[in-house]
Amino acid sequence: MITVDLSGAQSFFNEAGPDYATAAEAHRTLSGATGPGGEFTDWLSLPSAFDARELKSILSLSQKIKKLGNILLVVGIGGSYLGARAAIELLKTPSHNTICGSGATEVYFLGNTLSADAINETIALISDRDFCVNVISKSGSTLEPALGYRVAKALLERKYGRATAKKHIFVTTDAENGTLRAMADAEGYESLVIPSGIGGRFSVLSPVGLLPMACAGIDIEAVMSSASEAMLTLDLRSPDNPAWQYAATRQLLYTQGKNIELLASYEPSFRYMAEWWKQLFGESEGKNGIGIFPASLEYPADLHSMGQYVQDGPRTIFETVVSFANSRTSLSVPFLMGDPDQLNYLAGKDFSQIAKIAKQAVKAAHISGGVPNIEITCDTRDEQGFAQLICFFEVSCAISAYMSGQNPFDQPGVEAYKSNMFSMLKEN
């Protein structure tokens, strides 16, 4: 299970320490669905309540997509794609599409940009090959994926003709309402349902994330089984609950002027997990003029670009470092004749050993520089570890938001730019 080490933050605590009484109250509010947004808390019970028949249906669709071309183009933005991409990069590799091998399904993403260059690059990668499309949107009216869907649909119809193109389009949307639901019903697309009681950023363990994950070869049955166990563990009503520890410590540091959180990891495959985390916490907490700003860094690379700022910049930051206790592979440092770089003292040591010492050195330096450090450790980078991280961050986020007096499940500020954008587009 996830462990939280607060030793690197304790010297910054006040005498009272983290407010676990308020964390307990927030947890009661969350579990009882009695707070603002309580109608969007179905993600808590989703792993244990998920219909086994629906899981089999998703697996069947993934096999159907494989037979139709071995390429899936996922059209979505925000919560409609970040979780799936995070899972694929963390559990497979950021280079999945390059090294997945013959017979495996490649997964590409569209609908998350308005850059013609980026869209055309994706088109160039797949347009001369057989592919399927999974359009993901609760409403179907968000501009970026709606335009991405138009591009994907046009590609399919030019390639296969209108009738056959329909068999290559799979929709994940609301059961009854919205533009995309209406289009799916009108065109006869096969579809999966986004549960009504789950918002986008909490939807990765629903069909939103599960179909792309299954297509990439991730064991979604293991993911859901592990998530069910994790949710039970995270329901512990005690300061020993790692979600309480993380949420309460974040809020304590915020009251002390630490209003920027840097989420870091030493695993490059964690990059899109951090992107998912930024949406989760940013949309859930950044409201009414308050909230911790979520940012992410990739260590050690960013130690050579942002390390100076972290060490000596404004003391308004704290860092949360996610690690995996066990590496998947091993690699030893080679011996060089003559020791030209004076590093033969490291010859034979595994890179994981060196990374562990580097983490300890960085942690000590940052703490001495006035940066509190929270360590989150997950045992393994596999389906179980992924499920544990998702559940841990979701529960922590909701508790943290309720502790700060926010509704974790709305995003009223997002609508401001959308309204302006559609108005200006119609005028120009």
> Is 418 one of the catalytic residues?
yes
304 assigned to active site: yes
How far is 406 from 415, CA to CA, in rounded Å? 17
List C-alpha distances in Å: 146 to 75, 143, 161, 203, 204.
Answer: 8, 5, 21, 19, 20
Clarify whether 66 is annotated catalytic.
no
402 and 287 in contact (C-beta within 8 Å)? no
- Report residue 176 CA to chain centroid gap: 27
Catalytic residue from among 15, 67, 304, 427: 304
Q: Give me the catalytic one of 106, 144, 283, 298.
A: 283
Peptide bond into 300 cis (omega under 30): yes
**Nearest Cα residue to 382 out of 220, 256, 179:** 220
Angle CA 195–199–122, to nearest 5? 95
**Residue 333, SS3?**
coil
Active-site position among 39, 56, 349, 418: 418
Spatial distance between the Cα atoms of 217 and 214, rounded to a whole number of angstroms? 5
- Measure the CA–CA gap between 67 and 8, rounded to whole angstroms: 51
Q: How far apart are CA 78 and CA 76, in angstroms?
A: 7
Residues annotated as catalytic (active site), given as ranges: 283, 304, 418
